[in-house]
């Protein structure tokens, strides 16, 4: 009974926060709403007997991603609360497609028989760790490669032009003409 209540609460928090993320005019607030949504999700994971994941969620998502987003907002100078506009036409299109998707998937979910055998007990953290190095060794290694590539890529992309150095680093974008157009 209390479990159901917990679920309902967590779910509500996540949904409300999500909506606020996409509708908030102030970017900083939007980021913070995202943080709340992710927190709610972590609560859900905990309720679903996946405590390790809940912890990882908090650490990486909220601790890492949200922080990055804040940085992004700061760097791009929109932290003064300047308005991040939403336009009307895009709003309609978004509603249409989002609604369409929801209808489609929701319909699929509702019309599927989801009953099944009772599940085995959820894996412990130790078991998770072991499987990472056992069945999922290859994806594990590939993912580490992916992370490496992302790091290097992000660094290269975000480098600033620095004329002081010999062999001057170039910006990653191809050079534009004075108009800022390639045509």
Partner 1 sequence: MNTPGTPELLGLLALLAPAAAALVLGVVPWLRRSGGAAAVVAIAGSTVALVAAVAVLAQRAGGGPDVLWTVSWLEAGGRGLARVGVRLDGVSVPMLAVVTFVALAVQVYSVAYMHAETARSYGRYFAYHALFLFSMNLLVLAPNLLQAFAGWELVGVTSYLLIGFHFDRPSAARAAVKAFWMTKLADMGFLFALLLLYTAGGSFEWTASLRPAVAGAVTALLFIAVVGKSAQFPLHIWLPDAMEGPTPVSALLHAATMVAAGVYLVVRADPLFAQAPATREVMLFLGAGTAAFAALLALVQTDIKRMLAFSTCSQLGFMVAALGAGSAFAGFFHLGTHAFFKALLFLAAGSVIHAVHSNELSQMGGLRRRMPLTTVVFAIGALSLAGIPGFAGFASKDTVIGAVEGQGGGVPYFLLLGTAFVTALYMGRALLRAFFGPPCAAAAHAHEPPLSMTAPLVLLAIPSVLAGLLGGWLARSVGAEYHLHLAPTPVLAAALSLAGLLLAVALFRQGRPAPLAAFLERADRASLVDRSWALLYRQVLIRVADVSRWVDRYLVDGLMNGIGWSTLETGSAVRPVQTGRMRDYVFAVMVGALLLAWIGGFR
Partner 2 sequence: MMLRELLLLAALLFSIGIYGVLTRRHAVAVLLSIELMANAANVAFVAFATLRGGPGEVLVLFSLAITVSEVAVGLALVMLLHRRYGDTVLDLAQEAKG
Binders of partner 1 in range 106-145 (CB under 8 A): 107-108
Residue 56 binding partner 2, by CB under 8 A? yes
Residue 124 touches which member of partner 1, partner 2, none, C-beta under 5-8 Å by kind = none
Least distance in angstroms from the C-beta of 87 to partner 1: 10
Task: Tell which residue, 40, 59, 133, has the closest CA to residue 48.
Answer: 40
Q: Counting every residue, how long is the chain?
A: 183
Number of residues that bind partner 2 (CB under 8 A): 86
Stretch binding partner 1 (CB under 8 A), from 18-26, 96-104, 131-139, 160-168: 96-104
Residue 19 touches which member of partner 1, partner 2, none, C-beta under 5-8 Å by kind = partner 2
**How far apart (Å, rounded) are the C-alpha atoms in residues 15 and 31?**
15
CB 52 within 8 A of CB 21: no
Nearer CB in complex with partner 2: 52/167 = 52
DSSP bridge partners of 83: 26
Q: Give the one residue of 1, 77, 126, 168 binding partner 2; rule: CB under 8 A.
A: 77
Q: What is residue 101's three-state secondary structure? A: helix
> Which residues 6+ apart lie within 8 Å of 35 measured at CB?
62, 66
Q: What are phi and psi of 5, to 5 degrees?
A: -60, -45
DSSP bridge partners of 44: none
Binding mask 90-109 for partner 2 (x = CB under 8 A): xx-xxx-xxx-xx--xx--x
Least distance in angstroms from the C-beta of 88 to partner 1: 14
């Amino acid at each position: 009974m209390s479990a159901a209540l917990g679920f309902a609460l967590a779910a509500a928090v996540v949904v409300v926060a999500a909506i606020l993320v996409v509708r908030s005019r102030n970017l900083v607030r939007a980021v913070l709403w995202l943080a709340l949504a992710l927190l709610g999700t972590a609560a859900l994971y905990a309720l679903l007997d996946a405590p390790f994941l809940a912890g990882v969620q908090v650490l990486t998502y909220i601790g890492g991603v949200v922080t990055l987003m804040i940085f992004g907002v700061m760097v791009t100078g929109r932290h003064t609360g300047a308005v991040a506009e939403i336009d009307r036409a895009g709003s309609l299109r978004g509603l249409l497609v989002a609604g369409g998707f929801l209808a489609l998937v929701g319909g699929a979910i509702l019309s599927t028989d989801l009953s099944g055998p009772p599940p085995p007990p959820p894996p412990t953290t130790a078991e998770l760790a072991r499987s990472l190095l056992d069945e999922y060794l290859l994806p594990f290694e590939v993912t580490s490669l992916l992370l490496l590539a992302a790091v290097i890529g992000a660094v290269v992309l975000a480098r600033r032009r620095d004329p002081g150095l010999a062999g001057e680093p170039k910006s990653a974008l191809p050079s534009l003409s004075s108009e800022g157009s390639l045509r």
